[in-house]
Amino acid sequence: MYKTTTATYTDKIALKNVDDELVNKGVPRENFFIDEKILQIKVMMPESEEQEIMDILNRHGPTEVH
55: alpha, beta or left? (left if phi > 0; alpha if psi -120 to 50): alpha
What pLDDT does residue 12 have?
Answer: 97
Contact 5, 45 (CB under 8 A): yes
**The CATH number fitting domain 2-65, selected from 3.30.1490, 3.30.450, 3.40.50, 3.30.70:** 3.30.70
Order of strands, edge to edge, in the sheet holding 2-8? 32-35, 40-46, 2-8, 64-65
Question: How far does Cα 43 stand from its chain's mean position?
Answer: 5
What pLDDT does residue 30 have?
Answer: 97
H helix runs in the chain, sequence order: 12-25, 50-59
Mind listing the pLDDT tens digit of every residue in the chain (66 residues)?
Answer: 999 999 999 999 999 999 999 999 999 999 999 999 999 999 999 999 999 999 999 999 999 999
Domain boundaries, the chain: 2-65
Strand partners, 4: 44
What pLDDT does residue 60 have?
Answer: 97
What pLDDT does residue 36 have?
Answer: 96
